[in-house]
Amino acid sequence: MTGLRCLLAAALWLWPASGGAQTRVPPDVETNRRDFPPDSSQHRILPSVCPTGTETVLELDGLSRSLRHNGNDGEAHLVLRDKKTRKVLWSGTYVGEGICLGFNPHIRRYIFGIRQEHGIGSRLVETYYVGEIDRKAQASAFTKGAIEAFAAVPGPDRHYVAFIALEGNDTSLFVLDVEKDSLRKLGKAPLPPPLTPTERDYVKQHPDVLEGPWEWMASFRDGYMELDPGIVTFRGPATLDVSYGSDTARGRAAERTVATYDLGH
């Protein structure tokens, strides 16, 4: 192991969760550290704060995943603090990169996700709740459903979160009802965003990377990403609009069909 990797490994073992006291390291985190030592392609993820709760804040930082295939999956460190006293109420460490999906004020729950490597990219493989009242983490129906998401779109009050996700070999549109903790398949997934200018330049030099139809799991789109505007949109807390067209890698089709889902029924 190089000197840099030794330093990174040592930093992880001694790393407290966002400035709090040293906490017990979960077995899967220990395994990730032991079997896939951190390397120089990883970096510290700077602390950020999820949209704040009523009486708490949820802080998120961590270590990015390795850019080497079958490398270290990174770590997500989360800390729930009292807004006034800054006291740590809960903390957790997860294998993968963390992403905040927001706070539901009705049931006072935060929603966060964990991304892990899959092939050339990473997918959202788990989502959890952290309760502001019970101060506990709980796996959501998304995690229990064993699906992997390419994109997530939270509703305005986080009653619902829409996902474009893979179930087996089928990519579909799903919705998680956070308040009922239920997951259901709505229907067909819209096609992925077109190539970016950088990706188009790469394809000019390597045209073979776009062999096959343009779809999720195609080259450049086998991983978690932000959707372009207007494709999956919450028109209200329980109304979801999804735009479909004969899209290609070069662009979105001008002619669109919009399906509207009333999630409250």
pLDDT digits (tens, 9 = 90+) for 71-100: 888 999 999 999 999 999 999 999 999 999
Confidence of residue 11 (pLDDT cuts 50, 70, 90): very low
d(CA 165, CA 152): 9
pLDDT surpassing 70 at residue 15: no
| Residue 88 near residue 81 (C-beta atoms within 8 A) | yes
- 69 token code pair: 């295939």
Q: What was the pLDDT predicted at 23?
A: 57
- Comparing 56 with 5, the larger pLDDT belongs to 56
- Measured over the CA atoms of residue 88, residue 92, residue 98 and residue 102, the dihedral's sign is negative
Sheet harboring 257-262: ordered strands across? 232-236, 239-244, 257-262
Q: What is the pLDDT of residues 179-230, one digit of tens each?
A: 999 999 999 999 999 999 999 999 999 988 888 889 998 888 989 999 999 9
pLDDT surpassing 90 at residue 70: no
Instruction: Give the pLDDT mean for 6-10.
Output: 43
Q: What was the pLDDT predicted at 258?
A: 98
Q: What is the pLDDT of residues 230-252, one digit of tens each?
A: 999 999 999 999 999 999 999 99
pLDDT surpassing 70 at residue 8: no
- Comparing 77 with 265, the larger pLDDT belongs to 77
Ramachandran region of residue 157, left (φ > 0), alpha (ψ -120 to 50) or beta? alpha
Confidence of residue 120 (pLDDT cuts 50, 70, 90): low
- Comparing 85 with 68, the larger pLDDT belongs to 85
Q: What is the pLDDT of residues 123-177, one digit of tens each?
A: 999 999 999 999 999 999 999 988 999 999 999 999 999 999 999 889 999 999 9
d(CA 128, CA 58): 13
3-state secondary structure the chain: CCHHHHHHHHHHHHCCHHHCCCCCCCHHHHHHHHHCCCCCCCCEEEEEECCCCCCEEEEEEEECCCCCCCCCCCEEEEEEEECCCCCEEEEEEEECEEEEEEEECCCCEEEEEEEEEECCEEEEEEEEEEECCCCCEEECHHHHCCCEEEEEEECCCCCEEEEEEEECCEEEEEEEECCCCEEEEEEECCCCCCCCHHHHHHHHHCHHHHCCCCCCCCCCCCCCCCCCCCCEEEEECCEEEEEECCCECCECCCCCEEEEEECCC
